[in-house]
Amino acid sequence: VQLQASGGGLVQAGGSLRLSCAASGRFFNINRMAWYRQAPGKQRELVAVITSDDSPHYVDSVKGRFTISRDKAKNTVYLQMDSLKPEDTAVYLCNVDSKSTWAQPITTHWGQGTLVTVSR
């Protein structure tokens, strides 16, 4: 599975960005899709998850501001980020769990990351 993330950039505080991450390659199905972020000098942090039945979950710091969604037909996960704050500045990475065949275990895959910079 290959993951291609896009949509990062520079935005002023209070602004919005929409990240996308498209999965391609050969797989039986895609389960959980998620976005993580890693700021300089900090540990990687789970930001949002959307389950195979489209149930979203968020870290407390982004609740009410970020929205995760997925398009199953396009094997794509999105992260709509509104009311951005300087502390949201980080490299955002998409993460996908998939199975190569029905008999194989779930494996996890990482995208290359996209940089989000929020200025004051």
pLDDT tens figures, 56-69: 999 999 999 999 99
Rounded Cα distance between 35 and 14, Å, is: 20
Where are the extended beta strands (E) located within the chain? 2-6, 9-12, 17-24, 29-38, 45-50, 56-58, 66-71, 76-81, 90-99, 107-110, 114-119
Which residues, given as ranges, of the chain have pLDDT below 70?
none
Q: What is the pLDDT of residue 27?
A: 86
Sign of CA dihedral 82, 90, 4, 94: negative
List the structure tokens of 82.
């509104």
